[in-house]
Every structure is written in structure tokens, then in C-alpha cells.
Amino acid sequence: MEIRLLDPRDAAAYQALRLQALRGSPHAFSASHDDEAARSLDEVAARIVPAADGSVCMFGAFEHGELAGFVALIHPQRAKLRHGVELAGMYVAPAWRRHGLGRALLQAVIAHARAIDGVRQIGLGVNATNAAAKALYASAGFASWGVQPQALRVGDAFYDEEHQLLRFDAGN
């Protein structure tokens, strides 16, 4: 397994896996397949390349050279928000689940965030019914601080979203 930042050469593999994620795990993402299916490879490349100002980057997990998972880290650049980063869009392909890729991606995000001067915490949102993701985040020390009722609508069903935080100053 290799964990590294994605770059424009990964655009085609990322787009294929991202659309697989949106199709196969609609309850895990706020974006829908139709939102992203029409994106050109140039748009995708621009989206996955680390932003020059450090506001966003995307980590990929590779098995035998193939992209098998990804996660994004968003770092707001406004002065009053710079002490926090947001984790978003975590996904591991079904064939590679329970092989440690999700944990490795999470550890990469945590290490990256810890290395940014002034960052004190990582936030994320997770569907309250997503037991696998919640177990993964809990194992890294994330704690829930609130639940937004009916935050996500998929078809006719509504899902609560759990907001979680990993605070570096709390011994994590």
C-alpha cells in the first residue's frame, strides 16, 4: 500500500473511483453521481491537485499501483478559521475494505494537519447510520459534538449527520 497526494496524472483513475463511490455509497456523500458525472478530466485534474495556497489537497491510497481509496483535506485560509481543517469524501473501494487503507488515509490527513502551523483540530461530518466510518473515526480519537437532523436526503429517505472533531489539544 502507498499513500500519497494525488496529482493531475491521477485524474482519470480518481474520476472513475469517485463516480463508483457516488453510485455505490450514495448515503455517504453529499454530492450525487449526477453532480459530477459530466466533469471533464481537466476539471477533475484541477480539483485533485493540491491548491497553491494550501486550502485543499487530496490523498490517494494505492494498491499494486492502482488507486483504491481517497480522502480530501480542506484548510480554510481565513484568519478566524485557519486553526481548523476539514476532512471530506473518504472512500475505499469495496474490494480493498478492511485492509487498513481507510485508517492509513486518515493517519495521513492527521499527520498533514498536525504539520500545519497553528492547526488545532480536524472536523468532519458523517451519516449517523454509517457504522463503519464512525468506528474508523472513533479509533483515531474523533468525538461527536452534535447531530444535524435530516441533513441528507437520498431519494425519499432523510439521514441525520453526526459532526465530529479531533482536537489536538485534548491529548490526541
Residues that bind ligand COA (CB under 6 A): 25, 28, 90-92, 97-103, 126, 130-133, 135-136, 139
- Can you read off the three cell numbers belonging to residue 63? 494498491
C-beta closer to ligand COA: residue 8 or 30: 30
Nearest to 128 by CA among 108, 154, 148, 105: 148
CA 67 from centroid of its chain's CA atoms: 15
**Distance from C-alpha of 172 to C-alpha of 162, rounded to nearest angstrom:** 20
Q: Which residue is nearest to ligand COA (CB)?
A: 102
Report the nearest approach of ligand COA to the CB of residue 117 (Å).
27
C-beta closer to ligand COA: residue 77 or 139: 139
Report the nearest approach of ligand COA to the CB of residue 50 (Å).
21
- Can you read off the three cell numbers belonging to residue 56? 485543499
Nearest to 86 by CA among 40, 139, 30: 30
Report the nearest approach of ligand COA to the CB of residue 131 (Å).
6
C-beta closer to ligand COA: residue 71 or 117: 71
**Distance from C-alpha of 112 to C-alpha of 106, rounded to nearest angstrom:** 10
C-beta closer to ligand COA: residue 8 or 96: 96
State the sign of the Cα–Cα–Cα–Cα dihedral 110, 114, 116, 119: positive
**Distance from C-alpha of 71 to C-alpha of 134, rounded to nearest angstrom:** 15
- Can you read off the three cell numbers belonging to residue 26? 450514495
Task: Answer whether 18's CB lies under 8 Å from 70's CB.
Answer: yes
C-beta closer to ligand COA: residue 27 or 83: 27
